[in-house]
Amino acid sequence: MTVRPDPSAPDGPGGTTVRPDRPDRPAPDHPGGDLLFETSGSTGAARRWWRRPEQMVREVELIGTHVLGPVDHVVSYAPPRHLFGALFGQWLPRTAGIPVHQAWRQPLRPPPVPADARVLVVCLPMTWELLRRHLSSWQRASSVVALHSAAAPPPAAHRLVRRAAPLLRAHELLGSTETGGIAHRPVTPEGEAAAPWRLLPDVTLAGDGAAPAGRAAELVVAGPRLARPDGASRPPAHWATGDLVEFTAPGTFRLVGRSSSLVKVNGVKVHLARVDERLAALLPGAECVALPRTGDPLGGEGYVVFWARRAAGVNTADIQDALRDFPRPSRIVEVPAVPRTAAGKPDRAALLAAASP
């Protein structure tokens, strides 16, 4: 880590910042300054955000208590240059005083798993196939809990949760660099319906948290773990996440999609997250991503389905049939593989470039 002054911070201990720009080294004790993280830019322009050490400690304690339970060894596939990897690959093991193996350095190598250990695995989407390959190594542990973030768990996650039970249980964390963790839910076994999201105890709703069931509303949150934007003196009072949700009960909701992924096709609203969910459920032999159509002012709004073949026997007609209850996509584009960002999210820019004439 490097330590340098932040000109927008007040004088005193809070006026020094610590930047995690050396992810190849464990995070050392720091002088109490703020930490700098940058958003990936996958859903908007990249920005810089500052977090206080006490926010980091609060988050790992909160999720450790309410989600993970006791662990005594960590294997992290998430680089600590991103908030998720820093929290659970550095701050949690340091706070708990337990060892950590930084598997992101050599992800293809089977990690050392201590016998009879209670292991936390910090997961990105690509991790699940590696967990399947190395399942015999994980069976040395007394229990394994996987914590997933950055993007929706791939189908391999749900298959492995079913196959490896009761050794393995898994949880998904919803959050961002700006907000930290917002909500959590279990990763359900293949064939079971997704569980609703449950807010973490220190997160409050600053928007329309009382929206009637079945009506989508943007998720706007407040709480003590919001990050401070670069150049500002304090965190915002609340943060609009851009996520559209349907509230199912107090403190629980179903994620509908992103406000930026809501399109109208011939006057009919289409939530592209639901398109993705339908295709994932009906076509496990294909990986599909639906994105809004851009650059066609005459054609109006629409969406494009990008897909990569996972198994033989899947074709464009199967995608059209799976979406028979939805307005038809403007285009269906086959790609060799779905490109992903460093955080494991579909690379929107690369996909849209593939659709360009």
Q: Which two tokens stand for residue 79?
A: 């680089």
pLDDT at 191: 86
pLDDT at 206: 77
pLDDT at 299: 47
Q: Which two tokens stand for residue 224?
A: 């003590």
Compute how many other C-beta atoms are within 10 angstroms of the C-beta atom of residue 278: 18
Q: Are 263 and 301 in contact (CB under 8 A)?
A: yes
Number of alpha carbons in the 13 Å side-chain half-sphere of residue 319: 24
User: Rounded to an integer, what distance in angstroms lies between the CA atom of residue 4 and that of residue 33?
Assistant: 9
**Radius of gyration over every alpha carbon of the chain, rounded to an integer in angstroms:** 21
How is residue 335 annotated by DSSP? -
Q: Are strands 118-123 and 100-102 parallel, antiparallel or unpaired?
A: unpaired
Q: 3-class DSSP state for residue 258?
A: strand
pLDDT at 11: 31
> Secondary structure of 47-89 in the HEC alphabet?
CEEEECHHHHHHHHHHHHHHHHCCCCEEEECCCCCCHHHHHHH
User: Rounded to an integer, what distance in angstroms lies between the CA atom of residue 16 and that of residue 298?
Assistant: 52
Q: Are 279 and 271 in contact (CB under 8 A)?
A: no
pLDDT at 40: 59
pLDDT at 356: 73
Phi, psi dihedrals of residue 186, rounded to the nearest 5°: -75, 150
User: Rounded to an integer, what distance in angstroms lies between the CA atom of residue 200 and that of residue 198?
Assistant: 7
Compute how many other C-beta atoms are within 10 angstroms of the C-beta atom of residue 266: 10
Q: Are 125 and 134 in contact (CB under 8 A)?
A: no
pLDDT at 263: 79
pLDDT at 294: 66
Residue reference for tokens 């579909």:
346
Residues of the chain under the 50 pLDDT cut:
1-31, 42-43, 208, 297-299
pLDDT at 164: 96
The per-residue b/e assignment along 87-108, b for 16 or more CB within 10 angstroms, e otherwise, is bbbbbbbbebebebbbbbeeee
pLDDT at 255: 85
pLDDT at 45: 58
How is residue 20 annotated by DSSP? -
What's the sign of the alpha-carbon dihedral 71, 77, 49, 177? negative
* H-helix or E-strand spanning residue 201: none
Q: 3-class DSSP state for residue 183?
A: strand
- Which stretches within 230-339 are classed as H helix? 272-282, 316-322
Q: Are strands 73-76 and 118-123 parallel, antiparallel or unpaired?
A: parallel
How is residue 260 annotated by DSSP? G
Q: All domains of the chain, ordered by start, with CATH?
A: 2-200 (3.40.50.12780), 266-354 (3.30.300.30)
Q: Are 54 and 25 in contact (CB under 8 A)?
A: no
pLDDT at 212: 54
At residue 176, what is the residue type? S
pLDDT in tens, 237-269: 999 988 888 888 889 998 877 766 777 787 677
Q: 3-class DSSP state for residue 349?
A: helix
Q: Which two tokens stand for residue 80?
A: 């600590």
User: Rounded to an integer, what distance in angstroms lies between the CA atom of residue 240 and that of residue 221?
Assistant: 7
pLDDT at 316: 93
Q: Are 176 and 241 in contact (CB under 8 A)?
A: yes
At residue 32, what is the residue type? G
